[in-house]
Amino acid sequence: MQDSIDAYLQFIAVEKGSSLNTLEAYGRDLLRYAQFLSRSGVKDAKTARPEHATAFLWELRAEGLSANSINRCLAAVRGFYKYLVREGRIGESPVAEVGLSKTWTKLPGALSRAEMDRLLAAPRADGTIGARDKAMLELLYATGIRVSELIALTLNDVNWHVGYLTAMGKGRKERIVPIGRAAIRSLKNYVEGARLQLEKKQSPFLFLNRAGEGLTRQGFWKIVKRHARTAGLESKVHPHTFRHSFATHLLEGGADLRSVQIMLGHADISTTQIYTHVTRSRLKEIHKKYHPRG
């Protein structure tokens, strides 16, 4: 079964352009599924039945996994079987009729504008590392791009004259996102000074670490936590804080949902709609605080 899983992961990497994060997550989920089948006496995925898949999902639930995590596992298993059907290895998928676990909308955590100002002011822009960190944080908040997209940016991805960047999103889909004046200033300050000092050898990446190489997600997260601690916001900052704050503040300012969807790179507008719940909550707070009958 491991050979089939490896072949499937190779397929979605090449044919669908799945990200490394997706490949790792699906690989873990399918390994867990294979181990479950083995414990259940099923030696080959081809002989699994719908009841095996259902029992697998119930086991995940018993382990305390969230509905979203369970659904991701099911998506991995479904995709795996679709691949086996496509390749003619099995006649039909045993999980085709297995339903999704019920999910509850979880509101994304976003900083207030004042809190975001504190976080953006945390790096000292007069030093090499501070200038780099300032540029990264400003760019994340200005564009709403994912951390994985940020660390993959190259110098050629930034259009300095027009003021936008080209981000490579999920499924290797490109999108153009405006940068804004504040982020452009910080970015130019970094590229024209600090980046030249960090670059030990020629590198295409926009943001470099002390060794002159591209940053990792783990390395970037350590940087964010350090500045969040300085700003007194450590408990409120997580990897998606900038992305969520970007979308929330745009919608609060009157931006239309479709434009925000395009900038975030969401394939489905229903994914973007979660932010409307956040802005509604904010409107209720304002009404309660300022209306005479609030």
**Residues 24 and 129 grouped into a single domain:** no
Same domain, 233 and 161: yes
Is 146 assigned a catalytic role?
yes
pLDDT value, residue 145: 95
**pLDDT at position 10:** 92
The pLDDT of residue 103 is 53
Q: Identify the pLDDT of residue 282.
A: 67
46 plus 10 within the same structural domain: yes
Give the residue from 21, 51, 86 where a domain finishes: 86
Q: Is residue 179 part of a domain?
A: yes
Whether 240 is a known active-site residue: answer yes
Instruction: Please check whether residues 171 and 261 belong to one and the same domain.
Output: yes
Give the per-residue pLDDT at 229.
Answer: 95
| Whether 140 and 14 share a structural domain | no
Q: Is 216 domain-assigned?
A: yes
Catalytic residue among 72, 175, 266, 282: 266
Q: Which residue of the set 170, 175, 217, 238 is catalytic?
A: 170
> Domain check: are 272 and 126 in the same one?
yes
Same domain? For 234 and 119 the reply is yes
CATH (domain of 49):
1.10.150.130
Domain end residue (candidates: 67, 86, 105): 86
Specify the number of domains making up the chain.
2
Q: Say if 97 falls within a structural domain.
A: no
For residues 74 and 209, membership in a common domain is answered with: no
Which residues of the chain fall below pLDDT 50?
Answer: none
pLDDT for position 118? 96
Nearest to 170 by CA among 145, 142, 139: 145
Query: Is residue 103 domain-resident?
Result: no
Catalytic site residue 82?
no
pLDDT at 99: 65
The answer to whether residue 187 sits within a structural domain is yes
Q: Are 228 and 107 in contact (CB under 8 A)?
A: no
Told to judge if 49 belongs to the known catalytic residues of this protein, a careful annotator would answer no
Name the domain boundary from 70, 86, 102.
Answer: 86
Catalytic residue among 146, 195, 227, 244: 146
**243 included as an active-site residue:** yes
| Residue 98 included in any domain | no
* Residue 294, pLDDT score: 63
CATH code at 278? 1.10.443.10
In a domain, 106, yes or no: no
Query: Quick one: 166 and 262 in the same domain?
Result: yes
Domain of 73, in residue numbers: 2-86
Whether residues 175 and 232 fall in one domain: yes
pLDDT at 179: 94
Among 227, 243, 244, 249, the active-site one is 243
Q: Are residues 189 and 270 in the same domain?
A: yes
Residue 44 shares a structural domain with residue 119: no
- Residue 181 annotated among the catalytic residues of the structure: no
Specify the pLDDT at position 225. Answer: 94
In a domain, 75, yes or no: yes
Kindly name the residue from 78, 89, 240, 282 that is annotated as catalytic: 240
